[in-house]
Amino acid sequence: MVRNGLSLLQLKKNTVMVFGQSMAIEKLFETAQKEGAKFKVIIVDTCPEFTGRDQVKRLAAAGIKCKYTLL
């Protein structure tokens, strides 16, 4: 999955929107960042768990530009 995602993220500058948290997607973004892909991530979240908050913190710590919004 990571290889397929990398090929899409490396095509050009991208903005990717995700919902909540996914460790697979997080791994993809971190790998793409390390390989020089230029992209931003919009994380959409919802109550009651707000799992996207943790995703934003980890991605931002990895140097990935993120925006966070609630649904």
pLDDT for the residue 36: 87
The model's pTM: 0.84
Spatial distance between the Cα atoms of 22 and 5, rounded to a whole number of angstroms: 14
- pLDDT tens profile 49-62: 999 999 999 999 99
Amino acid 29: pLDDT: 92
Q: Which domain holds residue 30?
A: 2-70
The CATH number of residue 24's host domain is: 3.40.50.10470
Q: Total structural domains in the chain?
A: 1
More confident residue, 71 or 5: 71
| DSSP code of residue 10 | T
Tens digit of each residue's pLDDT (9 = 90 or more) over 1-37: 667 777 777 667 789 999 999 998 999 999 988 888 8
Tell me what pLDDT residue 2 has.
Answer: 67
The count of other CB atoms within 10 Å of the CB of residue 5 is 18
